[in-house]
Amino acid sequence: MRILGIDPGLRATGFGLIDTRGDAMRYVASGVIRSGEGHLPERIGRLHQGIVELVREYRPTVAVCEIVFVNVNPKSTLMLGQARGAALGALVTSGMKVHEYTALQIKQAVVGYGRATKEQVQEMVKRLLSLPGVPSTDAADALACAICHNHGGPVIGSLGRSLRSGRVL
């Protein structure tokens, strides 16, 4: 299975691709899609197009996107939500099945601690994928999304929904 992880952001949207067979994972590619300068609609369009091109080039089996947290600054949260919407729209219109996880779920699955630092996530991604160097924070977060999905993501996602609704035990 080829998993595409997406870490949405308006300035920089991280992406990471891994191939999996059971628990075995192999790094394929990672990087950042930059929206550049200009008016918001054009920037959103560039993010959307960049993700469509990724799907076309790498042909992932499934996509995973980090769920946006609510920031103290409402404007920042709204901008991030728009970038995430562009990413989800690009994935769905490209025919992808999309799974979503919170940052806490992703960190728990990858590092073993839901409040892990960015540096801890980067280091664990490097180790798990046997990378020669530490990936950028955006790329590491996207790769962590993909790793989370491979490490029982659907169970993690359903457990999170159950916990939020009070249906566990």
Between CA 150 and CA 110 the distance in angstroms is 10
Q: In what order do the strands lie in the sheet with 2-7?
A: 24-34, 12-21, 2-7, 62-66, 98-101
Residue 100 annotated as binding site? no
| 66 annotated among ligand-binding-site residues | yes
CA distance 35 to 30: 16
Active site residues: 7, 66, 138
7 assigned ligand-binding residue: yes
Q: Give CA separation, 147 vs 86, 118, 122, in Å.
A: 22, 15, 12
* CA nearest neighbour of 16 among 153, 137, 118: 137
Alpha carbons 146 and 74: distance in angstroms, whole number: 28
DSSP three-state, residue 148 = helix
Binding residues for Mg(2+): 7, 66, 138
Binding residues: 7, 66, 138
